[in-house]
Chain A
Amino acid sequence: MTTVLEKPVRKQPQRLGISPWWLLAPSTVLLVLLFGWPLVQGILAAFQAEGGAFTLANWERLFGDPYFVEALLNTLLLIVIVVPIQLVLAVGMTLLIQSKPKFGGLHFYVWAIPLAVSDLAAGLVWLTVFADRGYLNSLLIGLGLSENGIAWLNYDNPTTMLLAVVVAEIWRATSMVFVIVVAGVQMMPPDYDEAAQVFGASAWQRLWHVTLPLLKPSLQVALILRTILALQAFAVAQALTGRNFPLLVGETYQWYVNLQNPAVASAVALVILALSLGTAVLYMRALRQPSAGGPR
């Protein structure tokens, strides 16, 4: 490269006189050290016996644990129930906000509050409602619908336990989908909707044939993020039910902290990792292909 003939455009990246990789290096090093290295270690640990020899004993122990099967089923069930509800709810909330209601700003603030609430806190918040002597039972008795209340979080009532965790998760994490969808709607050019309106499309038709197809990229991101994060939920259930309603991440916690077995804990973590990557690929496939020629 000769300096004299260089075009100004080609010179631009070197404006600061340094390669951009110097700016990227610190973060890359940290990410590799704190993500790459432990990832490798985790995979190794799950397949290693005490001395370091290859073994499947950890996995046998894990699969033989009744809690694990239950946790896996619970986690999947939770995702299958919660994520679709959140998506529909978030789109509905977005349409409400877009129709510019009175005090729209205030409503937006309130609907966004759970964004900053941790899943542990969310579990504790809903504990006040679902506890044996909580507000829900008080309400039921007050209305004369029940004599002594219902043991919502009791080990014998798996359905109501699931219900409590589902409600808490919907409360906590719908905001996140909502914010993503609102941002997506606001980035959409209004022309399409107006055109549809001019040609006499009903509100329902406009939603189904104009807004939702245009929202597809946002919905895809929301779906992937939500599913991956829902896979990681555990403190909600922990706060509401203890270990009565086991979830996968809760099992990692259990194996590591209470049972002091990092190898099996790593095995559970790998199951979660596989599920996360699996869902990401699945959604990409399902949602990308039809819109291959579409915008973005």
Chain B
Amino acid sequence: MTRPAVDLTPLHRRKRQRVLVQLACVAISTFMLLPIVLIALSALSSRTALTEFPKPLLPSEFSTESISGFIGGAGVVPAFGNSMLAGVYTVVLSLLLGAPAGYAISRFSFRGRDAYQVLILLVRALPIVVLSVPLATMFLRVDIDDTVFAVTLVHTALALPTTILITASIFVGVPKDVEEAALIFGCTPGQAMRRVVLPMALPGLAASSVFTFVLSWNEVLGATVLTLGHRTLPAQVLSSLADSPNVYRFAGGFVLVLPALLFILVMRRYLLNMWGTTLR
């Protein structure tokens, strides 16, 4: 019994294609990951290993001395604290101000809604550099210059448009019916909000908070212009960049990159919604 000849070319072509796709994926992942691996290796090299040249891929001697040197550097620990504080304050303030607005946009149709949304879009298109300089002068006048609060205000203004858009999309995802059912069963509007809507919106709000925190954590220019003695971490690194050795720079870069891995890991599931869809 002879089997009919089967044309295997399409199958082979398909297989070849899969391999190519796989290779391309690995290549891109390498491009994205390798620099992070390299800065980690640099930051974890001992001082002597760092001056070696040509460098082997793996340093001849691992050590945490450059990192502890960086952390022990002038102003770094307080700067870390300031960054955390500014981040947390920004999250709280932008949620307090932005979530009600997001709720209003998602639930009400009212006159001026379009105008408000245009305002938000306009604000997003404004480069922060335009604001930093006049704000620094303004803050000087009202005596809140060089404080974490000043940085918080600017970061909140920066984060507010995205917070409003994200929370609006979150509240759209909480069905109106559930809220109405709560009202019918005798909840006051406040209770319906607290007991029904907020619990359902909570995961989304948490993700939006991480998003805001990252924004504040990474913002360099505003923080540098607005502060002098109370720097945030990126501002501290930037302002001491010019007169510090590469050891300090690599350790600083590593410390700044590290949270990114964690942020994206936490945010993986929300990435497409937050950065991808809502913010368009």
Contact = CB atoms under 8 A, between A and B. Distances in A.
Interface of A: 13, 15-17, 19-21, 23-24, 26-28, 30-31, 34-35, 37-39, 41-42, 45, 92-93, 96, 99, 101-121, 123-129, 131, 133-135, 137-139, 141-142, 149, 171, 175-176, 179-180, 182-184, 186-187, 217-218, 221, 224-225, 228, 231-232, 234-235, 238-239, 242, 249, 252-253, 256-257, 262, 265-266, 268-270, 272-273, 276-277, 280
B8 interface: no
A35 B164 CA distance: 16
A118 B238 CA distance: 12
Given A31-B123, A269-B127, A253 B103 contact: no
Given A26-B97, A30-B157, A266 B109 contact: no
Interface stretch (B72-80, B129-137, B200-208): B129-137
Interface string B68-111: 00000000000000000000000000001110110110011110
A34 B22 contact: no
Contacts of A119: 218, 220
Interface residues of B, number: 98
B interface secondary structure, majority: helix
A106 B30 CA distance: 12
A273 B265 contact: no
Nearest to A42: B134
B123 A35 contact: yes
Given A96-B25, A121-B256, A273-B130, A131 B246 contact: yes
Given A24-B100, A24-B104, A30 B156 contact: yes
Contacts of B280: 180, 183, 217-218, 221
A40 to B, nearest CB: 8
The 10 closest A-B pairs by CB, nearest first: A183-B276, A124-B253, A118-B218, A116-B260, A41-B134, A38-B134, A34-B157, A138-B54, A23-B104, A121-B256
B55 A111 contact: no
Q: Among B35, B128, B271, find the residue whose CB has the most chain A CB atoms closer than 10 A.
A: B35
Nearest to B252: A124
Contacts of B164: 27
A92 B28 CA distance: 10
Nearest to B38: A128
A109 B268 contact: yes
B32 A110 contact: yes
Contacts of A16: 189
A41 B138 contact: yes
B118 interface: no
A228 B257 contact: no
A114 to B, nearest CB: 6
B31 A23 contact: no
Contacts of A257: 224-225, 239
A130 B108 CA distance: 53
B220 A118 contact: yes
B1 interface: no
A120 B238 contact: yes
B108 A120 contact: no
A265 B133 contact: yes
A38 B97 contact: no
B129 A45 contact: no
Given A31-B120, A111-B32, 11 more contacts: A21-B110, A27-B100, A107-B28, A107-B29, A112-B271, A115-B275, A116-B264, A120-B238, A124-B237, A125-B39, A180-B275
A233 to B, nearest CB: 10
A42 B97 CA distance: 25
A97 B120 CA distance: 32
